Structure 1
């Protein structure tokens, strides 16, 4: 019997298992932080892509030189159409990811 066990300390084998358990919980925490960070960066990238596509497509389609107020309705309609489409695609994508996650594919 070691002195550390007499005074309430753990034996070396107990200390290793505690350290291993602590390490695995740290790794799990780090993985969750990485997943959250990647999700946030992906959301920013998706929003940037949406803005770029709207700008590229709607403004090229609707605007001519010089700008007239009649073109404003075209831009509004184009933007609304892109946003509706974006929402449909995003909802479908999220549903597929959730389905894959619950079925264990991810």
Structure 2
């Protein structure tokens, strides 16, 4: 009895090699990339909502139900969204540039 059989391994004659076709491996890789991209998008959206809530509401809601808070929140939200979009576009452009140059 070999040690590999004691620890759950199989002898070389019992091992089966399952070669995954490269097309199938590529498909799995693409699916994983898509899933990761979707999860990152959800995480980014959650972060955006969290930061807007944290920054704009703390800034604008000085006292409960005061006049003028809606305008402050609207302006803060618009500014935050513009900033978020600029930063996101720059980030995506930098990632694409790094990807095409082979850095990642």
Instruction: Please give the range of the TM-score, normalised by the shorter of the 2 chains.
Output: 0.7 to 0.9
Equivalent in the alignment of 1:101: 99
**Aligned-residue CA RMSD in angstroms?**
1.4
Equivalent in the alignment of 2:71: 73
In terms of fraction of residues, the more helix-rich structure is 1
Which is further off, 69-78 or 85-94?
69-78
SS in 2 for 1:105: coil
Equivalent in the alignment of 1:90: 88
Equivalent in the alignment of 2:53: 55
Deviation at 1:69, TM superposition (A): 3.2
Structure 2 gap ranges (5+): 1-17
Normalising by structure 1, we get a TM-score of: 0.76
Q: Deviations over 1:32-67 (max 9, x none)?
A: 000000000000100000000000110000002321
Equivalent in the alignment of 1:41: 39
Distance in 1, matches of 2:76 and 2:43, equals: 21
Structure exhibiting the larger radius of gyration computed from Cα positions: 1
Structure 1 gap ranges (5+): 1-18
Count, aligned residues: 87
Runs of 4+ in 1 over 6 A off after TM superposition: none
